[in-house]
Every structure is written in C-alpha cells, then in structure tokens.
Homo-oligomer: A and B are copies of this chain.
Amino acid sequence: MNYSTMSPSQLKEEYEELNKEYELVLSKGLKLDMSRGKPCKAQLDLTNDMLNSLSDSSDCFSQNGTDYRNYGIMDGIPEAKQLFAPMLNVSEDELIVFGNSSLNIMYDTIIKSMQFGVLGSTPWSKLDKVKFICPVPGYDRHFAICEAMGIEMINVKMNQDGPDMDAVEKLVSEDESIKGIWCVPKYSNPDGITYSDQVVKRMANLKPKANDFRIFWDNAYVVHDFTNPDTLMDIFAELKKNNKQDMIYMFASTSKISFPGSGVAVMAASENNISAIKKMMFFQTISHDKLNQMRHVKFFKNFDGILEHMKKHAEIIMPKFDIVCNTLEKELGPCNIAKWKKPNGGYFVSLFLPDNCAKRTAELCKKAGVVLTGAGATFPYGKDPHDNNLRISPTFPPNHELQEAMNVLCLCSKIAALEQAMK
C-alpha cells in the first residue's frame, strides 16, 4: 500500500477503488465541520458554574471595599492579576488584564504601533516598509492582522523544535524594517510543537537591527496540556538575563479555558512596555469588564484551580486527538504519503501531504460535506508554497462525527496523493 513503491497500474487500480468509496461517501450527504478550534459542548459545560459565580452584589467588591460594579481600574482588578500572573510566570506589575479577546489585544498593539510607534520609535505607518517574521505554518488570524495593516510577511520554516532560528537571527539582525515575529511557543498552531530550550534561548538573545522589534509571544495554549505535557522554557526570565526584557509582548486568554468570547485576556511585558501601554490605554477606555474578571476569580479561585480545570478539558479532548491520529496512522501510515505529529496539548493536528495535495484534498472533503480550515490558511496571504499543509481541529465535533470526518479526510488525501502520483 506504499504509494511510493507502487507501479502505475497499481496506482490506477487503487485510485479507481478509492473513487468508488468516495462516490459512496458523496451519497451520504454528510455535514461535518473540523474547520475551527472551538471547544465542544462538554468542554463548555465544565464552566457553567461561572455563570453564577457572582452570587450577589457582595461578590463584586474588593477586599478594601472598591465596588467593581462601577467605573475604574483600567489595568485589571488585583484579584485577576493574582490569578493570571502565575500563568505567564510574571509579577502582577508585569500584567494587564483586558477584555474578552487576546486577538483584540494583539490587533490593538499593532495598530497602536502603526500610529504611535513603540517606546518612542517612529510610528510604523510613517515607514516605507514594515515586515514581520511568520513561522509557517502558523495561525491565520495573526497573518490576517499583518495583511490588514499592510505589513509584509516573511515566511520562516517551523522545525520540529520551533522556528528555524538560523533564519530568524539572520533576518532580524540585517533588516531594520523587521519589527516583529509571531510565536505560538507551546503547542503551536497548527503543528502542536513546543519550542525547545535552545530555540527559546536563541529567541531571547536576538539582536534585532530595529530597536522597536518585538516578539509577539502568543501563549494561547500555555495550560492546555494533555497527560504527558511539554515544558516551555521561561523566555521572559531569559530575556531578563540578557537585559532584553523590552523585546517581548506576551499574550494569553481563557478563551479555551472558560468561555470563548466571554473569557478574559491578558498581556504581560516589561515595566517599560507596561507603562507605555497603560499610557496609551488611558485614551481608549476607562476599564475592561471587572465583573467578568471577578467571575473568573470566584470560579477558579487560584492558578491551581485553572490547572485542575484544564485536566477536565484534557479528559474530554484527548480521545478526539486519539481518533485523529489513530485514523491517520491506520489510513495514511501504510501509504507513506503523510506526516503529522501527535501533540501533547493544544488544539490542532497539522497534516502534511505530498506537494500540491492540500487544496485538492480540502476540495474533495468539502464536496463530501466535510469542512476543513481552508487549505493555505496556515500561511501568510493564504499561500502555502508547497500546497501540502492542512490543519485539523478535532475538538468541536462529537466523537462519532469526528471519526467519520477523519475517514473522509484520509480517503480524500489518498485520492489527491494518487492524482499527483499518476501525473
């Protein structure tokens, strides 16, 4: 069944066989969605008690009597800072608690850099060219922000231990127009890779030509561990050793911890950066939703409460990752046409097919009623140069639907691979 060793006639025979199967699938009129990294209903139910975690108005006051139902406290209530600071391993002074979306914070951070510059630098919108380094494959929403702002994106390859640091080091040291790099350092979107200590150390010791270069460290899956979790080195501690702590912005949110869209997002950074961010924030808002911050505090109680909660998430979604990876192994393994990594946490499985097969596979899936994240979405401008990467989001569908969708995906992958092989 190893396609690479099959004769043309064997390939043709296999192709015809699979097409019959595909016709059968088409006749089923499936409607399955593996397109976005959304928690499933059972995961959301884990947090239901938060809906009433503020039992009455007495739960809306700080210890010293501040009424969180009223205006004020722009940078987040102390109780929420206490809850979330350990998540990013920063002090409470290095943390700002925002609203419901870390994506929104990242967007704001970049549009403000366009408008105001960074710690006194020239506003990026006044420069001829602004570029960001984008480890690929990566998160489509990061790339979309750059595209909206007219920031040129430079692809850098993701290796098994993180971005290709040789390339990153060279780029940032030579090109002053490079102002940032997008990183999802733990269980990266979509590869599920956690940066190695070596990569983190090199990242923390970058010597960018641009003073206003920033690492956008989107630690979206910081506590999203399965039973055998990866460990991510503390980049902020490394940066401090190198006296380069201003070079990073760190982000996280509870979107996939409590309720997506009704969670709490945080940003952590150095004292200099936090001070500058607060100065800009003053013009934008009086405060974020302190009652929702308090809901999270009352529900989780402390950081250990978050970790315990994440174990319950893991129990629900680990079987889904098993379905995905077992099916890939069983269906695609023998054909020798695909690569993937079973992640130890996070939300995605990244599937690498033969070149020129990703779009075709997604197209075949769609026709059969199985929606994937669009092929190419994991690359800047939606352009996968090899057209070989697909992002699988296992969490949302019920297990039996996921199994069915994976069967279809594997079938379509094989058909697409055969089409290429027979060319």
Chain B residue at minimum C-beta to C-beta distance from A99: B99
Chain B residue at minimum C-beta to C-beta distance from A283: B148
In the assembled complex, A167 has its CB within 8 A of some CB on chain B? no
Interface size for A (C-beta < 8 A) is: 60
In the assembled complex, A389 has its CB within 8 A of some CB on chain B? no
Q: How far is the CB of A114 from the nearest CB of chain B, in Å?
A: 6
In the assembled complex, A57 has its CB within 8 A of some CB on chain B? yes
Chain A stretch 48-83: residues in CB contact (< 8 A) with chain B: 48, 51-52, 54-57, 59-60, 67-72
Q: When the two chains form their complex, are residues A262 and B291 in contact, meaning their CB atoms are under 8 A apart?
A: yes
Q: How far is the CB of A286 from the nearest CB of chain B, in Å?
A: 6
For the complex, what is the distance from the CA of A288 to the CA of B280, rounded to whole Å?
Answer: 21
Q: When the two chains form their complex, are residues A261 and B280 in contact, meaning their CB atoms are under 8 A apart?
A: no
A22-57 CB mask vs B (1 if < 8 Å, else 0) is 000000000000001011010011011001101111
In the assembled complex, A228 has its CB within 8 A of some CB on chain B? no
Q: When the two chains form their complex, are residues A289 and B262 in contact, meaning their CB atoms are under 8 A apart?
A: yes
For the complex, what is the distance from the CA of A145 to the CA of B55, rounded to whole Å?
Answer: 37
The copy count of this chain in the complex is 2
In the assembled complex, A112 has its CB within 8 A of some CB on chain B? yes
- Interface pick from A101-109, A301-309, A351-359: A101-109
In the assembled complex, A245 has its CB within 8 A of some CB on chain B? no
In the complex with contacts A51-B54, A104-B285, A107-B285, A260-B71 CB distance below 8 A: yes
A151-192 CB mask vs B (1 if < 8 Å, else 0) is 000000000000000000000000000000000000000000
What chain B residues lie within 8 Å of A369 (beta carbons)?
none
What chain B residues lie within 8 Å of A70 (beta carbons)?
38-39, 44, 259-261
In the assembled complex, A100 has its CB within 8 A of some CB on chain B? yes
What chain B residues lie within 8 Å of A44 (beta carbons)?
57, 67, 69-70
What chain B residues lie within 8 Å of A69 (beta carbons)?
44, 47, 259-262
What chain B residues lie within 8 Å of A261 (beta carbons)?
68-72, 286-291
Chain B residue at minimum C-beta to C-beta distance from A146: B283
Interface-central residue, A149, A262, A291, by most chain B CB under 10 Å: A262
Q: When the two chains form their complex, are residues B57 and A115 in contact, meaning their CB atoms are under 8 A apart?
A: no
In the assembled complex, A316 has its CB within 8 A of some CB on chain B? no
In the complex with contacts A145-B283, A261-B288, A67-B52 CB distance below 8 A: no
Give chain A's interface residues, CB within 8 Å of chain B: 36, 38-39, 41, 44-45, 47-48, 51-52, 54-57, 59-60, 67-72, 99-101, 103-104, 107-108, 111-112, 114-116, 123, 125-126, 141, 144-145, 147-149, 255, 259-262, 280, 282-292
Report, nearest first, the 6 A-B pairs whose CB atoms are least far apart.
A262-B291, A148-B283, A71-B260, A107-B284, A261-B287, A44-B69
Query: Can you name 10 A-B pairs with beta carbons within 8 Å?
Result: A44-B67, A51-B56, A52-B55, A68-B261, A69-B259, A69-B262, A99-B99, A99-B100, A261-B290, A289-B289
